[in-house]
Structure 1
Amino acid sequence: PGVHHPGLAADGQGAEVVAALGSAATRIVSVTVTEKGYTFGADGRLDLDSPAVRADLSGGTPRTALGLIVRGLQHRARTDGSPVTVLSCDNLMDNGHRLRTLIDEFVDALPAAERPELQAYVATSLTTPNTMVDRIAPATTDEHRDLVARAVGVRDSVPVPAEPYRLWVMQDDFRAGRPAWEHAGALFTDDVAPYELMKLRLLNGAHSLLAYLGLLRGHRCIDEAVTDELLGGAVEFAMREEILPTVPEPEGMPGKTYVTELLDRFANPALGHRTAQVGSDGSLKIPVRWAGVLAESLAAGRVPRVLALGLAAYIRVITADDAYDVRALGTAHDGARQRLTELAARASGPAGTARLLLSEGGLLPPDVAQHPELGYTVGEFAHTLAVHGVEAALRSALT
């Protein structure tokens, strides 16, 4: 109490953020901005058509996460040249390597005069370890701020609510040293991928299913959705029978046990994790969370029916104005909504709309998106959702 630790906001304090990132006293820059914050396009590369990215490349105070990071690195390169680690803690497969690729692409897109010094610094003085963070953290609300103020007597404008469960797995590749996080339970490993894949496909993949189907069932929060007997049963079936067969088990983490733990974690009513929040930016999340499961299942001759229903539910949530009560449940925001809605206008009927958006909407890799059996199944579920409702669709998915 009495000690003030100021926070900095990129919106209005970008120059101060760059200076803090570029300070020799800063040894680790951790990044948690979700998929949307990395400003990559449908091909996974830096979106050079984005006005925000173009503005950051042209100079001035940066606004994007990558712009802030790279300008911070540039500040270091021009001053003491001290090494640093940028640590992605986001739900991207191979997140450290992907972040490094995006940083390299941003640097390569800078004006020619700015490149050589920065390219040399990045090549010799930067590491971006892969990580996996497994902890559900819903959006901060005024209720959380008031709770912290009452509990500890300090007004924190950005407290982070989180569940009791926590697992943090990292590559031990820190160029400027690190705290002894292992004493607090962090796990260091040479291969983060199995942990990452299990969490991404089971936790995040099931979260998205609960969000879209939960919205259509009228559930405001994830705990309501997973304790809905029909919906929760369908998602559990998807986790155990559709997703788990595509997930290699990390050492010490049996998949069946992890699924059971997840169902209990989802059902925690204290989290208040809104379905609309989890369902936002599905056009970016679905390729990361569901595409691999769908691809591997289709290659093995299986159409995952609950995941197919999830695709139909997402399309209905994004394109049908009357899909659910937005006033009561909130809006699932998505940067692709306008594009997908315009594409949907070219189709006829719910099934035709779903098949068109699946094949041409950029939601999945072409070989998955254009798979005829998947397209047929998603279309049938879209028709059932529109004509008979979500209960009938869930029952059909489980037959």
Structure 2
Amino acid sequence: MNVAEWKKAPDHPVKVIQFGEGNFLRGFVDWMIHKMNEQNLFNGSVAVVQPLAKGLLPILESQNYTYTHYLKGIKNQEPVIEYYKNTALSVGINPYEDFESYLSLAHIETASIIVSNTTEAGIVFDSKDQLDMEASVTYPGKLTRLMYERYEAFKGDPDKGYIVLPCELIDNNADRLKEAVMAYIDLWNLGETFKTWVEKSNQFCNTLVDRIVPGYPKENIKTIWEELGYEDQLVVESEQFNLWVIQGNDKVQQAFPADEAGCQVLFVDDVTPYKVRKVRILNGAHTTLVPVAYLYGIETVLESVEDPQINQFLMKAIFDEIIPTLTLSKEALEIYAAEVILRFKNPFVKHYLMSISLNSMSKYQTRVLPSLLAYFDQNSKLPKRLVAALASYMVFYRGEYAGKKIAIVDNEDILKLYKDAWKQYDGSKTSLVDVVEAVLGYEPNWKGNLNHIPGLRDQVVNYVSIILDEGMENLIHAVEDED
């Protein structure tokens, strides 16, 4: 059997215009739409707009806009692999080849939701984009042109505006997108009445997305095809976990009721606390874990959480040192943290610590340091495990440990900082203090001088000394003994 021979689900009107046909949207948003359709909660389909001149639309068309989605991860506390045929998509358009059909999307009355994932670099303004171009170079330019077409088609009807849900991984993604759209309105002299319609009749909703959707599984695709019994050129793999936080009102929830279909979609007044939660717990846990587990002799995240000592270290870092510094309810934070640990235990994902270690100094500054500072402000003492992670990074960035080279990847200034700092180390306590002071005092990374935090320098020196003289396992024991 070939995918193209699949019979499509009952025809649904286009309700979503989707900029992007890549793995993430198909394994995240389109999965939600498929689930809603299965439960008769949405009864709508997706028109896919290819944001670049070259893309996957020819393959999608050859497969009748259907594809297989594998979900591999922890579900109900158990490792689960399941797959299904996604039929959420109904049509695809390449605006570079058929601009008229692209503009016709604006005339579809039911198409009231815009979603996008054009990468972090996609939401930009380019003054070279012109109104008379058949297809703007940028996504905001394309969206502005589509919105103007809709405004004219429905004569400025205030009920015909869009709900705009960007998935790009940038802060305030909808605000940034709206700013670019407004800039194009001014550049193209589209008028104040249109600008007012965009402002008052359209909702640009900041969002936070959270699901691991790797690339096309080319390494084992033949095995997958054998298991499926057919060839699918667009197989999507994802973890089971999903979370979409949308800064939107009841109208947005009613238009996109994915939460009622069993998807983890939250409609909130402000996405910021959830963004902070993700950065500090999920990303912060990764960044805290890497040097400790690696110097302990472990290579992957899964092995880390399976090791009793490392797992206990990580759990206490999250629940005792990170969560108390956050503003959401303790219950919500602890539920999310438990889900994070389950994701780390996903047996189908081999997540190497070294791959996470890329640019760890800036990651520590954004993901872990805020928790350290908040903890100190609240308790007038330092969080031992977050400090231990910082000390471990100092040893990690030396580039060698226990006779083994460590391939550090970071910006040149960071590499030079550590190279120069460790050059002066001669095994003495005084020279170790110099190393630690040099790193803590590097303001371009920390946005300040960490030597000014009472007790931090001495505690880092002590922890680094234990690692160098006694090994990482003894540092973990020492931290536990301090409790």
1:88 paired to 2:167: yes
Partners of 1:258 and 1:6 in 2: how far apart?
29
1:270 paired to 2:348: yes
Partners of 2:118 and 2:365 in 1: how far apart?
19
Partner of 2:412: 338
Q: Is the 8 A contact 1:133 1:168 kept in 2?
A: yes
Give 1:222 shift.
0.7
Q: CA RMSD in A?
A: 4.6
Give 1:362 shift.
3.8
Deviates more, 1:373-382 or 1:17-26: 17-26
Distance verdict in 2 for CA 1:100–1:254, change over 3 Å: closer
Partners of 1:229 and 1:32 in 2: how far apart?
41
Q: Is the 8 A contact 2:399 2:408 kept in 1?
A: no
The superposition leaves residues 94-147 of structure 1 with CA deviations (integer Å, 9 ceiling, x where unpaired) of: x4xx2245447767999x956987994875576442434454556665346455
1:166 paired to 2:259: no
Q: Is the 8 A contact 1:107 1:115 kept in 2?
A: no
- TM-score under structure 1 normalisation? 0.70
Partners of 1:385 and 1:259 in 2: how far apart?
28
Partners of 1:17 and 1:309 in 2: how far apart?
53
Partner of 1:43: none
Give matches, 1:13-32, under 5 Å.
24=106, 27-31=113-117
Partners of 1:379 and 1:147 in 2: how far apart?
51
* Paired residues, number: 365
Unaligned residue ranges in structure 1 (runs of 5+): 40-45, 47-52, 62-66
Distance verdict in 2 for CA 1:176–1:352, change over 3 Å: same
Name the SS of the counterpart of 1:28 in structure 2.
Answer: strand
Q: Is the 8 A contact 2:173 2:207 kept in 1?
A: no
- The structure 2 residue matched to 1:242, chosen from 306, 317, 321, is 321
- Give % identity: 22
Give 1:231 shift.
1.6
Distance verdict in 2 for CA 1:293–1:369, change over 3 Å: farther
Larger Rg: 2
Greater helix proportion: 1
Partner of 1:206: 285
- The structure 2 residue matched to 1:374, chosen from 427, 431, 456, is 456
Give 1:382 shift.
3.8
Name the SS of the counterpart of 2:349 in structure 1.
Answer: coil
Partner of 2:260: 183
Name the SS of the counterpart of 1:165 in structure 2.
Answer: coil
Partners of 1:102 and 1:376 in 2: how far apart?
43
- TM-score under structure 2 normalisation? 0.59
AA partner of residue 155 (structure 1): D
Give 1:310 shift.
1.9
Partner of 1:306: 385
Distance verdict in 2 for CA 1:370–1:38, change over 3 Å: farther
1:394 paired to 2:480: no
Partners of 1:382 and 1:361 in 2: how far apart?
21
The superposition leaves residues 61-115 of structure 1 with CA deviations (integer Å, 9 ceiling, x where unpaired) of: 9xxxxx843333344366545745142364x7xx4xx2245447767999x9569
Q: Is the 8 A contact 2:216 2:234 kept in 1?
A: no
Give 1:361 shift.
5.0
Give matches, 1:138-153, under 5 Å.
141-143=217-219, 145-146=221-222, 148-152=224-228, 153=230
Greater strand proportion: 2
